[in-house]
């Protein structure tokens, strides 16, 4: 029964904010009781289960720390590096990523995602 409620909630239109709230409320109640699989937080708000594709969110980019940037710059400025130093630089540059904060306009919950 709850699988049908989940399908019904996904087929509802989301033309205005009230329809999106109704859709998210149905999705929450259906997903908590039905076996619909694990919901992906990259596609929807963790709190109200509103899909990001409906457009009710605000995006902010969180700047990286100066300490981390200085470590990378310090390693890159060396003219000749040992294997260990090169491996450390490769490790630092591979771990550097952009943190994006999605703020849901319906419930004001802040979701963070890391992108490379």
pTM listed for this prediction: 0.52
Asked if residue 49 has pLDDT above 70, the reply is yes
Separation between Cα atoms, residue 20 and residue 38, nearest integer Å: 21
8-state DSSP, 47: T
Residue of 52 and 75 predicted with greater confidence: 75
Give residue-wise pLDDT tens across range 73-110. 998 998 899 999 999 999 888 877 778 888 888 888 88
On the question of pLDDT at 37 being above 80, the answer is no
Rounded-to-integer distance, Cα 28 and Cα 91, Å: 40
**What mean pLDDT is reported for the chain?**
79
Residue listed under structure tokens 């999106």: 20
- In this predicted structure, the answer to whether residue 5 has a pLDDT above a threshold of 80 is no
Q: Assign residue 55 a region (left: φ > 0; alpha: ψ between -120 and 50; beta: otherwise).
A: left
Q: What is the CA radius of gyration of the chain?
A: 21
Residue 38 in this model has a pLDDT that exceeds 60: no
Q: Quick one: pLDDT at residue 82?
A: 92
Report percent pLDDT > 90 for the chain: 8
């Amino acid at each position: 029964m709850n699988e049908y409620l989940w399908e019904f909630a996904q087929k509802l239109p989301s033309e205005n904010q009230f329809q999106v709230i109704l859709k998210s409320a149905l999705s929450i109640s259906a997903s908590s009781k039905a076996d619909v699989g694990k919901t992906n937080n990259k596609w929807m708000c963790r709190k109200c289960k509103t899909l990001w594709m409906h457009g009710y969110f605000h995006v902010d980019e969180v700047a990286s720390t100066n300490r981390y940037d200085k470590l990378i710059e310090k390693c890159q400025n060396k003219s000749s590096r040992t294997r260990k130093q090169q491996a450390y630089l490769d490790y630092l540059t591979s771990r550097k990523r952009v943190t994006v904060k999605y703020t849901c306009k319906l419930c004001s919950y802040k979701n963070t995602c890391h992108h490379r």
